[in-house]
Structure 1
Amino acid sequence: MKEYKAEIGVIAAGPSGLSAAVQAAQMGAKVVVVEKAAAVGGAANMGMGILAVGSHYQKAQMIDISVEKAFNMFMDYTHYNVDARLIKRYFSQSAETVLWLEDMGVEFEGAFRYFPKSEATWHIVKTDTGIGPRAASFMNRALYQKALELGVTVLLEHPARKILKEDGKITGILAVGPDGEEVQVSCPAVIVCTGGAGANKKMIQELTGLEHGKEVYNFAIPGLTGDGLTMAWEAGADRMPVRIEMACDLGGGEATTSGVTNIMKQPNLLVNRDGKRVMNEDFMQNATYLSNVANHQKDKTCFSIVDSSIVKYYIKNGVDVTSLVTPDPDVSDFYEGIGMLQKNGSSNYFVADTIEELAEKAGIDGENLKQTIDDYNYFCDSRDYEFFKDPKYLRPLFKAPYYAAAVHPGGYGTVGGVRINENCEACDRFFKPVPGLYCAGADSCNIYDDSYMFLLPGNSMGYAVNTGRIAGMSAVGYVRSGRISRQEKTEEL
């Protein structure tokens, strides 16, 4: 067995693990990171940036957002079903975290909204190709380089197998090297940062009751299999609910052009299998709201419906609503995408020459759908008496062909599972810290209750980086205080 000695052991090298390692190393600690993949960054390499509140970018852009405002928004949104002390610490630190990242070479484009109704808290990482997906990989690369500069040992292709514990205290990590040899990291403090269980279909069904690929369509990043959750629970951490970080899925993951997805996500008619409307479609731009709506329908499915006149309008004038993920209003490749879907025998996108035919193909109640469209077309000539939709989004459906796309619950992966306090100490069922055990990022992300907070975008990655830093600070404090936690000190006094 190969052995490494350290003060802090970190499990996984995503943004929370890298941030924890860098923070601890900056404070003078000897740190070893074990990562199961052959590269760092994890699922966050697909992301774009972090939440920050009160940053110098927001001040320069005259964006009126403060820690007080963001905190009150967040707590109101979650009905105080989350840890207020953790939220306050996270938000209060977030602006300084931007400076912390900039000190290691990370650049930001500025502060942005995700969609029009959200706040401009999303700090997009600057790349050499402009704003777009995978921007955060530049941040992860900078964190990794900083960790190496500070002397952090990063063991790639070393999946952790167990958190070691003696006499009630953490003593290390047992991992396996790429050659199959067992590797032990002997350390008095361990930080779990493994990113949840988004790729573990069995665990998702057991813990959430949702069947991946049928009832929920979340990103299944290879390697995110819930290992850290299991290890933390076995080491004494209390179990918290594990949830899917909801953000709707359009089309069951079927490949198509951006024009198709962009048009079918516009605030047009949305119905369930009964052919009835289910929301004010203005709010479709909030992917969490839309996912929640779909989750409460028969077969957990809704349908976005447009006709050829709406499609032609969008192709000529551009779409109504854009976001930083779909910023281009040009949807001229719509017909190309629809043709590709039809050729591939799509089971989520439907085209028909009549409303009745569309209903039959999609599995929607035909009589109800026809009545719903008649009512909706009347609203387009007057006002929406059913759900009070903004008139600028009211466009009648009258010209064939008609198009429908299935909308399902979706998400970015799992969040939550390990109980922590505002110091990111993993706590047992009696709310007492497990001596030497810490958790950051998705594994500890119990802050959304039942709905992801899309109104303050950048939350997932902002939470990961900031809780990573907090865990690093707390772990160093624990080790330097003679391996006695604050709770134990209090009890002794």
Structure 2
Amino acid sequence: MREMEADVIIVGGGASGLAAAISAAEQGAEVIVFEKANTTGGCANMAMGLLGVETKLQKERLIDCTREAAFQKFMDYTHWRSDARLVKTYIDQSASTIEWLEDMGVKFALPSKYFLGSEATWHIVQPKTGAPGLRAAATMIKTMTDRAEELGVKICLESPIQRLIKDEGEVIGVVAKDKDGDIEAYGSAVIIATGGFGDSPEFIKKYTEYEWGKDLFSYRIPGLTGDGISMAWEAGAARDRMDMELVFFAPNTGGYAPIELPFRQPNLFVNLDGERFFDEAVVENPVFSVNSITRQKNRTVFSILDESIMKEYEKNGLDLVNVVTSNISMDDFKQEMNDMIKNGNDVLFIADSIEELAEQTGIDKEGLIKTFNQYNESCKSTDKLFNKNPKYLKPLVGPKYYALKFAPSAYGSLGGIKINYNTEVVDNDDKVIPGLFAAGTDANSICNPDYVFVLPGNTLGFAVNSGRMAGTNAVQYIKENFSEE
């Protein structure tokens, strides 16, 4: 058994772990990061950007979103279920975090809204090459990794943690394992930042209301199997609210695939009974949409449009565009549609009549025909069912009809380890477990009950900011409780 020592030991080398490492090292702490993958970043490598409020970039663009207003909007959205002091600290720090990253060399393309009703808090990372888009934040992770190493942080890759080491109630280190065997690493503070349980169908089934592959088709970033959460619980940590960061995708297409482009529009949506179930204009908000989808039979719905609508989108563009889909064109859609037709699939359906479409999809035929007729009648006047905006009322007249299946998905998990507003892990009596901190997805229970999409950038934003907080607080804990010797 080899031994290692440091002031701060960090479990996980994703966005929150790297932020914690840099923050602690900038204050002079010796830091070791253990990461079980062969590279840093974790799910942050899939992300686009993070939340910032009252940043220079926003002020330069006359974006009027104050910290006070953002805090109020966040707490109103969660009905004050979240830890208000933790949320306030996170939001108040977010602008300095953007500057902190810029000082390292991270460049941001723009602060963006996700949809029209949201705030422009999403600071999209500018990749070194190409336009901002999915996976843009991988550039930020590379910069953060370089900065950590420049500060002397030791990053141990392919070195999973086995358990925490406790002594008289205090967490004093970890047991890790690499290709050469077991390691005991001792430190004055340990920060857990392992990225949640999005790659664990067992965790998902046990701790959420979903079953992966049956009624949930979420991203699975390899290695995010709840390790940090489990070891924190074993050390006495209280269990906090656990859920998925829900959105909706066409199952097994990879999420925000080109095939979804014209179907993520405010046209006719129906469930398996053939009935409408929401005002389709809500489709621009993934959280509101998925909340409605989860109430439907088998958590399955279909977006239906016809050839006339397809041609209109090709000629005039889409009704709704967001930052994620802005780099996808109808040409990309047609290419993927042709590939799916050629290779076979179970999400896209094309028919010459509504009756045939019902047979292909499994939608109740009588229900679909009834809804189809009612909807087309509404398009002549007003939508008396959901008061849908008339500009989105487009009749389905054929000659071909298209349907795409949608179901709940998720970017990853949320929550598991209960922390206080100082990012200290607490037990079931809300007492601090000395020496133990947590950050990022493992401890993200602030989006309660839903991901706060009205302030986009929250997952990566909380990861980086809570990581900074944990690194700072861990060093402060060491200064207050240990002598210089």
For residue 80 of structure 1, what is the amino acid of its counterpart? W
1:41 aligns to what? 41
The DSSP-based 3-state class of the residue aligned with 1:398 is: coil
Change (3 A) 1:467 1:256: closer
Matched residue pairs, number? Answer: 482
2:207 aligns to what? 207
The DSSP-based 3-state class of the residue aligned with 2:330 is: coil
1:61 aligns to what? 61
**1:323-345 deviations in whole A, cap 9, x for unaligned?**
11110473134443333223333
Whether the 8 Å contact between 1:310 and 1:395 is mirrored in structure 2 is: yes
1:336 aligns to what? 335
1:260 Cα deviation after fit: 2.5
Q: 2: CA distance between counterparts of 1:101 and 1:115?
A: 25
1:195 aligns to what? 195
2:370 aligns to what? 371
**1:469-493 deviations in whole A, cap 9, x for unaligned?**
0111111111111259xxxxxxxxx
1:203 Cα deviation after fit: 1.2
Q: 2: CA distance between counterparts of 1:312 and 1:237?
A: 56
1:168 Cα deviation after fit: 0.1
Whether the 8 Å contact between 2:256 and 2:325 is mirrored in structure 1 is: no
Q: 1: CA distance between counterparts of 2:148 and 2:393?
A: 53
1:151 Cα deviation after fit: 0.9
Q: 1: CA distance between counterparts of 2:80 and 2:164?
A: 32
Q: 2: CA distance between counterparts of 1:431 and 1:51?
A: 29
Whether the 8 Å contact between 1:5 and 1:185 is mirrored in structure 2 is: yes
1:221 aligns to what? 221
1:438-453 aligned within 5 A:
438-453=437-452
1:345 aligns to what? 344
Q: 2: CA distance between counterparts of 1:116 and 1:381?
A: 26
1:426 aligns to what? 425
Q: 1: CA distance between counterparts of 2:226 and 2:218?
A: 15
1:37-436 aligned within 5 A:
37-127=37-127, 128-179=129-180, 181-250=181-250, 252-254=251-253, 259-328=258-327, 330-436=329-435
**1:287-313 deviations in whole A, cap 9, x for unaligned?**
111111111110011110001111111
The DSSP-based 3-state class of the residue aligned with 1:405 is: strand
Q: 1: CA distance between counterparts of 2:106 and 2:184?
A: 33
The DSSP-based 3-state class of the residue aligned with 1:220 is: coil
1:491 aligns to what? none
**1:427-466 deviations in whole A, cap 9, x for unaligned?**
1111111101000000000011121111111110000000
**1:84-127 deviations in whole A, cap 9, x for unaligned?**
11100000000011111111111111211112221100011112
Q: 1: CA distance between counterparts of 2:342 and 2:23?
A: 52
Whether the 8 Å contact between 1:196 and 1:229 is mirrored in structure 2 is: yes
**1:161-211 deviations in whole A, cap 9, x for unaligned?**
1011010001101100123x0011101210000000101111110111311
Q: 2: CA distance between counterparts of 1:407 and 1:257?
A: 11
Whether the 8 Å contact between 2:14 and 2:40 is mirrored in structure 1 is: yes
Instruction: Name the TM-score, length of structure 2 as normaliser.
Output: 0.97
Q: 2: CA distance between counterparts of 1:326 and 1:257?
A: 7
Q: 1: CA distance between counterparts of 2:258 and 2:155?
A: 42
Instruction: Name the TM-score, length of structure 1 as normaliser.
Output: 0.95
Q: 1: CA distance between counterparts of 2:416 and 2:256?
A: 36
Whether the 8 Å contact between 2:285 and 2:453 is mirrored in structure 1 is: yes
Stretches of structure 2 lacking an aligned partner (at least 5 in a row)? none
1:3 aligns to what? 3
Whether the 8 Å contact between 1:322 and 1:329 is mirrored in structure 2 is: no
Change (3 A) 1:408 1:257: closer
1:257 Cα deviation after fit: 9.7
Stretches of structure 1 lacking an aligned partner (at least 5 in a row)? 485-493
Whether the 8 Å contact between 1:318 and 1:330 is mirrored in structure 2 is: no
**1:27-69 deviations in whole A, cap 9, x for unaligned?**
1111110000111011101111110011011111001101111
1:218 Cα deviation after fit: 0.7
1:32 aligns to what? 32
Q: 2: CA distance between counterparts of 1:143 and 1:295?
A: 37
1:377 Cα deviation after fit: 1.1
1:443-482 aligned within 5 A:
443-482=442-481
1:241 Cα deviation after fit: 2.3
Q: 2: CA distance between counterparts of 1:153 and 1:468?
A: 17
Range moving further from structure 2, 218-227 or 240-249: 240-249
Change (3 A) 1:279 1:256: closer
**1:375-434 deviations in whole A, cap 9, x for unaligned?**
111221112111111122111111121111111011011110000111100111111111
Range moving further from structure 2, 343-352 or 310-319: 343-352
Q: Runs (4+) of structure 1 moved beyond 2 Å?
A: 254-260, 332-340, 342-345
Q: 2: CA distance between counterparts of 1:145 and 1:427?
A: 32
The DSSP-based 3-state class of the residue aligned with 1:94 is: helix
Whether the 8 Å contact between 2:293 and 2:408 is mirrored in structure 1 is: yes
Q: 1: CA distance between counterparts of 2:59 and 2:256?
A: 37
Range moving further from structure 2, 285-294 or 298-307: 285-294
Whether the 8 Å contact between 2:375 and 2:395 is mirrored in structure 1 is: yes
Whether the 8 Å contact between 2:10 and 2:190 is mirrored in structure 1 is: yes
Q: 1: CA distance between counterparts of 2:42 and 2:350?
A: 38
Change (3 A) 1:406 1:186: same
| RMSD of equivalent CA atoms | 1.5
Q: 2: CA distance between counterparts of 1:195 and 1:395?
A: 43
Q: 2: CA distance between counterparts of 1:309 and 1:119?
A: 33
Change (3 A) 1:259 1:473: closer
The DSSP-based 3-state class of the residue aligned with 1:409 is: strand
Q: 1: CA distance between counterparts of 2:73 and 2:176?
A: 42
Whether the 8 Å contact between 1:257 and 1:337 is mirrored in structure 2 is: no
Change (3 A) 1:382 1:329: farther
Change (3 A) 1:257 1:234: closer
1:256 Cα deviation after fit: 10
Range moving further from structure 2, 31-40 or 113-122: 113-122
1:490 aligns to what? none
Whether the 8 Å contact between 1:229 and 1:417 is mirrored in structure 2 is: yes
**1:358-379 deviations in whole A, cap 9, x for unaligned?**
1111111111111111111122
